Amino acid sequence: MRATASTKPASEILPAIPITQYTPSDNTVHNTLGHISYQHGKQLDVGLPQPSGKAVTCPICITAKTRRTARPLPSDIAKRAQHPWQDVSVDLSGKMRTQGITNVYYFIPFVCNYSGAKIVEFVERNSHFIHAYRRFVARIDGVQPHKLRTDKGGEFMSTELKELLELHFVHHQTRAVDEHYSIGTSENAVGRLRETSIALLLQVNLPSKFWPCAIQHSAFLSNYTSRSRAKPKLTVYELIYQQKADMSKIPPFDAYCTVYRAREQRQGNLDLPSTPGIFVGVGLYQKTLGYMVTDTTLNKLTVTRQHLSFDPQLFPLRLRPTAPPLFRNFHRLTSTQAPASTTTPTQSLPSRVTGLFFLFLLRKHFITEKM
């Protein structure tokens, strides 16, 4: 006879392998349910016993479900350094595509973890960091910091720097892998200085080779306006110098300015008593700290501390046609002034004809009246 298909319901069909009645352990239930969490397993009702003991310790979960640990809370202010430049974080930024006007490609912000103050140094190569560190120590009156925080870049792990730090009993602390927050102050300083300098360069249509000037001026403005780490109600300047900052003598970036010249530098009695120029920030140039001014050729820098006059409403480079392409496009789109005419008076033939015709009519009328 020919076999017929079974008409029994699915619930009465026995499996090929009979299920053995047993009570699985918590570890077995955890593995069966796909390594779910202990709390989730206690809430499920799927025909398996709920966990009855302590949470299961599973090496598979530790390995396969690892996530980034939550960022630790900020350190207690009482446990931080109690004086400026005792605890310093440092980072290196570069290589820049454009060589700076001072023949550099990298900038290095040194950040005081007590106050939040910033000092910026520049190098031509990243291996020259040790020279930047020596200049930094000289700028803080030759006092070595107690702790120096860096990453594990090759410029920070050189043998020469290691010997220098050990000689002056400086504790060099490097960050662990993928824990950028341990030197967060210096890494944040890199981003802030970059974005501020880009805004300054875009504002003034200044060539990109002046980025070291913009970086230094950005650090100067940050020290005057940023809140300090030790006392957030005070700025960095107020915390260190215990007085209010006076920004009224600081000209806007790219403002027209003049630098006084002594009599022996002039070419006669009718020569100008000052040299006109463009203000490009407050910074250090050739060992002189002061107002940095460039000339009209944009190839020379002059630094003065006292002999500066400026017009805060005159900006010579705002619509300069030789600006970088990105800056030029921005100013073309945002400028409210009409484009200047390219036709010179000697080439304006209709205006000349109109003027001659008017003079002819005037002369004819004068002769008629006289007759």
Q: How confident is the model over 314-336, as pLDDT tens digits?
A: 888 876 666 666 666 676 677 65
**Sheet harboring 256-260: ordered strands across?**
301-304, 288-294, 274-285, 256-260, 308-311
Q: Is the pLDDT of residue 337 over 60?
A: no
229 pLDDT band (50/70/90 cuts)?
A: confident
* Cα–Cα distance for residue pair 360/343, rounded to 1 Å: 25
| Cα–chain center distance at 223 | 14
pTM: 0.72
346 pLDDT band (50/70/90 cuts)?
A: very low
Strands 118-123 and 147-150: unpaired
102, 299 contact by CB (below 8 A): no
299 pLDDT band (50/70/90 cuts)?
A: confident
Q: Is the pLDDT of residue 235 over 70?
A: yes
Q: Which carries the bigger pLDDT value, residue 54 or residue 307?
A: 307
pLDDT at 178: 74
* Cα–Cα distance for residue pair 187/354, rounded to 1 Å: 67
pLDDT at 371: 46
Please list the alpha-helical segments (H only) found in the chain: 26-32, 38-43, 59-64, 129-139, 159-167, 184-204, 211-225, 236-241, 325-334, 349-370
> Which residues fall within 8 angstroms of residue 80, CB to CB, at 6 or more apart?
87, 113, 114, 229, 230
Q: Is the pLDDT of residue 273 over 90?
A: no
Q: How confident is the model over 121-150, as pLDDT tens digits?
A: 999 999 999 999 999 999 999 999 999 999
User: Which H/E stretch holds residue 293?
Assistant: strand 288-294
pLDDT at 102: 86
Phi-psi map region of 309: left, alpha, beta (phi>0 left; psi -120 to 50 alpha): beta
pLDDT at 205: 79
pLDDT at 64: 75
The mean pLDDT value of the chain amounts to 79
Q: Is the pLDDT of residue 66 over 90?
A: no
DSSP state for residue 227 in the 8-state scheme: B
Q: Is the pLDDT of residue 17 over 60?
A: no
Domains of the chain with bracketed CATH = 22-63 (no CATH), 80-241 (3.30.420.10), 256-318 (no CATH)
Average pLDDT over residues 209-216: 93
3-state secondary structure of 59: helix
Strands 118-123 and 106-112: antiparallel
